Amino acid sequence: MTCLYIPSLGEGTSFESFAEIVAHLRAPDGCPWDKEQTHQTLRTHLLEEAYETLTAMDENDPAGMREEFGDLLLQIVLNSQIGSETGEFSMT
């Protein structure tokens, strides 16, 4: 299993810039792991991040929520990028 760390974006950074980073990870010159992913291979990661987010919420842990919401958002944007590439749907 591989883990990719993406540092938080700076103040005033747009959601579009984040989506562009994810698109670059899936591009031919992008990350080999990200390029291999499908909706099905990401399923367990989405579920795991959702549980981790709920745990942070249950513990009323703002720092944990911030981190886990970011991880969960990455999963959503990555699945949206795959949907866009296959013509199934897009983030918009």
Question: pLDDT value at position 48?
Answer: 96
Question: pLDDT value at position 11?
Answer: 64
Question: pLDDT value at position 15?
Answer: 87
Q: What tokens appear for 62 in the block? A: 């703002």
Q: Give the separation between CA 33 and CA 36, rounded to whole angstroms.
A: 5
Work out the pLDDT band at 69, boundaries 50, 70, 90: very high
User: What is the value of pTM for the model shown?
Assistant: 0.81
pLDDT at 30 over 70: yes
Question: pLDDT value at position 76?
Answer: 96
Could you tell me what percentage of the chain is helix, strand and coil, using 3-state DSSP and rounding each to the nearest 5? 65, 0, 35
